[in-house]
Copies of this chain bind each other. A is one copy, B any other.
Amino acid sequence: MRSILIINSGGTFNKVYNRVTGELEIDKSGKAIEQIAKGWLTEFKVINVVGKDSLDMTQSDRAKIAETIKGAEENRIILVHGTDTMHLTAQYLSRANLDKRIVLTGAMTPFSINPIEATANLSSAYGYLLQLKENNVYISMNSRIDLYKRVTKNREKGYFQVTL
């Protein structure tokens, strides 16, 4: 059973420019993931939940994400999430003992501004999951993919690193 479920909870990955307000805002409908599927000549199973910037994520939002993962028939989950609190949600999911293979990913740059990073973060998570054997919580950012505790955001440089 190879099927992978993508749960899209928002974050910079999904931000789009609103020319009336001049602001970047989260597209809750998941168009970025649709465009990746279309360009990659494939199809994804996607559930959009929460739809927030990661700084606005509450424990109740995390509970909703955990419920969605628990209720899914798939054992392999990609969770698209904002980068600032990705480690907190990863920790939350780890403590929830979901007995699944969960990879959190996201992007430092919105897909709509430059599609490379978002596309590569998501698809490297996808490839990783196809061979992953152990249930646990992982992070896939900027080519670093490992157990969630080892992949952390370098806030000054603006990318993720592995700390062993």
Where the two chains meet, the residues of A that have a C-beta atom closer than 8 Å to any C-beta of B are 12, 17, 19-20, 22, 24, 35-36, 38-42, 108-110, 112-117, 119-133, 140, 142-145, 155-160
Cβ of A152 to closest chain B Cβ, rounded Å? 14
Cβ contact within 8 Å between B116 and A130? no
Residue of chain B at shortest CB distance from A21: B158
Let me know if A114 and B41 touch, CB within 8 A: no
Chain A residues touching B, majority SS = mixed
Tell me the smallest distance from the CB of A84 to a CB of chain B, in Å.
9
Decide if B117 touches A20 in the complex (CB within 8 Å): no
When the two chains form their complex, are residues A113 and B17 in contact, meaning their CB atoms are under 8 A apart? yes
B127 with A119: CB separation less than 8 A:
no
Q: Is the CB of B127 within 8 A of A145?
A: yes
Which 6 A-B pairs give the minimum distances between C-beta atoms? Answer: A39-B116, A127-B127, A124-B127, A127-B128, A131-B131, A42-B143
Are the C-beta atoms of B127 and A40 separated by less than 8 Å?
no
A20: B residues at CB distance < 8 A = 155-158
**Which of B41, B133, B142, B145 is within 8 Å of A142, CB to CB?**
B41
Residue of B with least CB distance to A158 = B20
Cα distance A41–B114 when bound, in Å?
A: 12
Residue among B17, B110, B115, B133 making CB contact with A115, cutoff 8 Å: B115
- Closest chain B CB from A137 CB (angstroms): 15
Task: Establish whether residues B36 and A116, one from each chain, have CB atoms under 8 Å apart when the complex forms.
Answer: yes
Q: A132 touches which one: B42, B116, B117, B131 (CB < 8 A)?
A: B131
